A and B are shown apart, each in its own frame.
Chain A
Amino acid sequence: MDTINIAAEAFYLPPEKRPVEEIFRIEDIPFGTLSKHIDFKRDIGIEDVHVTDELPSVLALKAARKALEKSGCKAEDINLVVDFTSIPEDYVGPTWSAAGLVQHELGLVNALATAVNTGGCASYHLALKTVRSLMQTDPSIKTALLFAGDRTPDLNKTYYPITVASDGGAALVLTRDRDRAKILEVETISIGRLHDVWYVPGLQSLKPGEKPTEAHLHMFTKMDKFNEGVIPINFVMFRKVMAQLLAKLNLTFDDVDYYVYPTFSTWDQGYFKRRFKLDDTKVWTNGLKHRGHVQESDMVINYAEASEAGAIKKGDKVMVVSNGAGFAWSAALLEH
């Protein structure tokens, strides 16, 4: 089967920044320490994040335009456009996605527009896995544009006890004829019983007579389920999904040159590095302090920054991993 490559990746972060200290003042954050040694507000490691009033589709569009330009592909070359946004969009899903809007605005006249949704950041990996499979087996799909655009609702930047979110967008162009970022394999594991560890209630959850507020679009956590269901297995699942992927390729962890990991917090990055015996030269952590977490776009942004900074070199095998909203663990191995 043909090898599928990431011809280009790009992102857009709105210029306005907001100090996390200010966010913590205005948002409702539980008081106290997460564990014996961790205080959420003190130790998060994020100083400021990007904020905007622009719609998610606008952020997506800006990122998609940049990725398309960077790839050197023309609008009419794109055969497939896939939205992999993982938080609420301009309009209600799954009735609507931004894929059609992006198709229209960019003039992708030969594309099929759709969206992959799986709940949480795993949408990056599911989009990569399903689009790669389709491109490998359907010769009519030569080039695909994948994008996401995320703007959190008002007063919902903090995802306690995980991270603080930035607004932004990211996009990738997938082709089969470039000597860059070959997608070697994508693996994902879902644990369905954890489906509602993180959830957005929406207007469908309104009780009779209840007044709708923007909080209905806020991300909520079931803390008991998070603590009992996710925390004990999180890094076990990371190892499992990466090991499964490597086994498929007859590779070992020693063959991995670099890791791209979501940008959640200092302690989360620390656990990941300790668990997999990595130092700062092996995993991109630089985005945390002045960006925080940009949902599923973290993987695209961190990959782009690491490769632009020279941390990822030609031929490196790069493991891109994420845990999606507490129920899915995913890994993609790319050969840069």
Chain B
Amino acid sequence: MTSNVIGILNAAAWLPTATRDIANIFASEGITLTAEIREQLGVEQVHCFEGDSPTEMAVAAAREVLEEARLKPTELQAIIDFSTMPQRYVEPAWSMSNELQAELGAKSAFTLGYSGGGMSNLHVALKFAIGLIKGNEDVDTILLVGADRAIPGNRVISAPDPVSVIGDGASALIVTCRGPEDAIIGTHAQTNGANHDILNIPGGGIKHPTALDRYRLTIDTEKFAAVNAPALARQAGENLMRELNGSGGEIDHHIGANFSRSDVMAFQPDGGNASGIALDTLSRCGHMHANDLVFNYLALKQAGVEAGARVLLASHGLGFTAGATLLET
């Protein structure tokens, strides 16, 4: 570790060029799209990856972030995958982080991923990345990558009463103690084990190995109905501020995930800059799991953030993993 400040040196977001509009997606999945559903979801289109494996998206995002940070792949000591959706092969028997290491030529990096946290996996990955940098003298720069592609025919979640529409995309962050651009003031993550399966793909694991009809991203609607998800995201932020014991300061911008318009508005009922950004990203890209936070963070920065501003990234993970990360720009 070379300094006390650990933070984000650079971030990058990558989207496939192909898009599909929401009417087309609903029609192809045999679901009725009403004006009310359209309004509640807030998604107009999503980007669709047509390549061979999500690794390709991860490589594109990782190359971009390394180039922008002017880092060589060999300067990375670790690669952490924070994806949510199935990858080239079955995890945890395989990890995308290893293929990414090879594609980038990051010969000095060890590789791993964190799983099960859905849209909050980013906070978990950040928490461990900070621990690795603080706890190991030979670790100062880590690449975090998420790359998620929807299961074919499974972009609309929880039909016939849809709660979200899944888009494809990837994002990458460089976390370092070597002169980061934005300091990470703190990270908090919490889980409620009772909701471990609230977001799940029931078929294709050991329990239902051949149930192709259940190989779909599914939300346990009963459990989800019992969760006040936006409140959980806010609570994660409050817990983080409490942990920081007054050193968190005033929050200038709140960034959430893009689950749906109603979810974004419930998280930030007073609107404002960051919620406008979230709604715009949601409209163009749909929900991309933990990548949402990186996309919104980048959009906020592009819109212009004053130096020294405090930015809180928070997500509810649908009631299982909730997390928050406080940055100082």
> B199 within 8 Å of A by Cβ?
yes
A contact residues around B114 at 8 Å (CB) = 94, 114-117
Interface pair A92/B94, CB less than 8 Å apart: no
In the complex, whether A64 has a CB less than 8 A from a CB of chain B is no
Interface residues of A in 284-332 (CB under 8 A from B): 325, 327-328
Docked complex Cα distance between A103 and B190 (Å): 11
Cβ of B195: which chain A residues have Cβ within 8 Å of it? 100
B86 touches A199 (CB 8 A): no
Do residues B206 and A153 form an inter-chain contact, with CB atoms below 8 A? yes
Query: How many interface residues does chain A have, given as a range?
Result: 35 or more
A243 within 8 A of B: no
| A290 smallest CB distance to B (angstroms) | 24
Q: Which of B97, B134, B206 has the most CB of A within 10 A?
A: B206
Contact indicator A115/B135 (Cβ below 8 Å): no
Interface assignment of A171: CB less than 8 Å from any CB of chain B:
no
* In contact, A201 and B116 (Cβ under 8 angstroms): no
Taken residue by residue from 190 to 215, chain B's Cβ proximity to chain A (1 for < 8 Å, 0 otherwise) reads as 11111111011111111101111001
Cα(A134)–Cα(B199), bound, Å:
27
Which of B123-131, B170-178, B271-279 is the interface stretch?
B123-131
A327–B69 Cα distance when bound, in Å, is: 28
Contact flags B100-135 to A (C-beta < 8 A → 1, else 0): 111100100111111111100100100110111011
**B113 touches which one: A89, A101, A118, A132 (CB < 8 A)?**
A118
Say yes or no: B193 contacts A101, CB within 8 Å: yes
B143 CB, min distance to chain A CBs, angstroms: 12
Contact B200 A93, beta carbon cutoff 8 Å: no
Most buried by B among A93, A191, A325: A93
When the two chains form their complex, are residues A192 and B203 in contact, meaning their CB atoms are under 8 A apart?
no
Do A96 and B93 touch (CB < 8 A)? no
User: In the complex, A188 Cα to B109 Cα: how many Å?
Assistant: 9
* Distance A202 CA – B89 CA, assembled complex (angstroms): 6
A126–B115 CA distance with the chains assembled, in angstroms = 14
Q: Is the CB of B132 within 8 A of A133?
A: yes
> In the bound complex, how far is the Cα of B91 from the Cα of A116, in angstroms?
10
* Interface status of B66 (Cβ within 8 A of chain A): no
A104 to B194 alpha-carbon distance, docked (Å): 5
Given A114-B116, A118-B97, are A192 and B196 neighbors across the interface (CB < 8 Å)? no
Contact B197 A91 (CB under 8 A): yes
- A214 to chain B: closest residue by CB: B209
In the complex, the answer to whether B196 meets A101 with C-beta atoms within 8 Å is yes
User: Which residues of B are found within 8 Å of A169, using beta-carbon distances?
Assistant: none
Flag whether A73 is at the interface (Cβ < 8 A). Answer: no
Q: Mark A190-228, 1 if CB is under 8 A from B, else 0.
A: 111111101111111110000011101101000000000
Residues of B within 8 A of A126 (CB): 110, 112
B86 in complex: contacting residue of A134, A193, A202, A212, CB < 8 Å? A202
Among A93, A100, A118, point to the contact of B111 (Cβ < 8 A): A118
Chain B residues whose CB sits within 8 angstroms of the CB of A120 once the complex forms:
93
User: Nearest CB to that of B198 among chain A residues?
Assistant: A100
- CB of A198, distance to nearest CB on chain B (Å): 7
Given A91-B201, A195-B99, A100–B320 Cβ distance below 8 Å? Answer: yes
Residue of B nearest to A97 (CB): B116
B98 in complex: contacting residue of A118, A202, A219, CB < 8 Å? A118
Are B93 and A86 touching (Cβ within 8 A)?
yes
B136: interface (CB < 8 Å): yes
Is A88 close to B, CB under 8 A? yes
| Contact residue among B135, B199, B207, B215 (Cβ-Cβ distance under 8 Å from A132) | B135
Q: Which of B95, B132, B201 contacts A119 (CB 8 A)?
A: B95
Q: Which residue of A lies closest to B113 (CB)?
A: A117
Judged by a CB distance under 8 angstroms, whether B243 is at the interface is: yes
Q: Are A195 and B102 in contact (CB under 8 A)?
A: yes
Q: Which chain A residues lie closer than 8 Å to B189 at the CB level?
A: 112, 114
Is B90's beta carbon under 8 Å from chain A?
Answer: yes
Q: How far is the CB of A226 from chain B (nearest CB, A)?
A: 15
Which residue of the partner chain A has the closest CB to B128? A130
B97 partner residues in chain A, CB cutoff 8 A? 118
Residues from chain A with a CB closer than 8 A to the CB of B103 are 192
Q: Are B190 and A112 in contact (CB under 8 A)?
A: yes
Select one of A83, A91, A151, A219 contacting B93, CB under 8 A: A219
CB-based contact B217/A95 at 8 Å: yes
A192 to B74, CA, bound (A): 13
Residues of A contacting B100 in the complex (Cβ-Cβ under 8 angstroms): 192
* A113 and B89 form a contact (CB under 8 A): no
A95-B86, A104-B194, A214-B210 as given contacts; A203 in contact with B215, CB under 8 Å: yes
Q: Tell whether, in the assembled complex, residue B92 and residue A117 are in contact, meaning their CB atoms are under 8 Å apart.
A: yes
B93 and A200 form a contact (CB under 8 A):
yes
Q: Is B10 interfacial (CB-CB < 8 Å)? A: no
Is B8 engaged at the interface, CB distance under 8 Å to the other chain? no
- Residues of B participating in the A interface, judged by any CB pair closer than 8 Å: 81, 83-95, 97-103, 106, 109-118, 121, 124, 127-128, 130-132, 134-136, 138, 151, 189-197, 199-207, 209-212, 215, 217, 243, 320-321
Q: A91-B204, A114-B115, A134-B128 are in contact. List 18 more A-B contacts (CB 8 A).
A: A56-B206, A87-B93, A89-B92, A89-B206, A96-B205, A100-B197, A103-B191, A112-B191, A117-B95, A118-B113, A119-B94, A138-B131, A190-B101, A195-B99, A199-B89, A202-B89, A202-B204, A217-B209
Q: List 15 A-B contacts (CB under 8 A).
A: A92-B204, A93-B205, A95-B85, A96-B199, A105-B193, A117-B91, A119-B91, A119-B92, A134-B128, A137-B135, A195-B99, A199-B89, A199-B94, A214-B210, A217-B209
Residues of A within 8 A of B (CB): 1, 55-56, 83, 85-105, 108, 111-120, 123, 126, 129-130, 132-138, 140, 151, 153, 188-196, 198-206, 212-214, 216-217, 219, 248, 325, 327-328
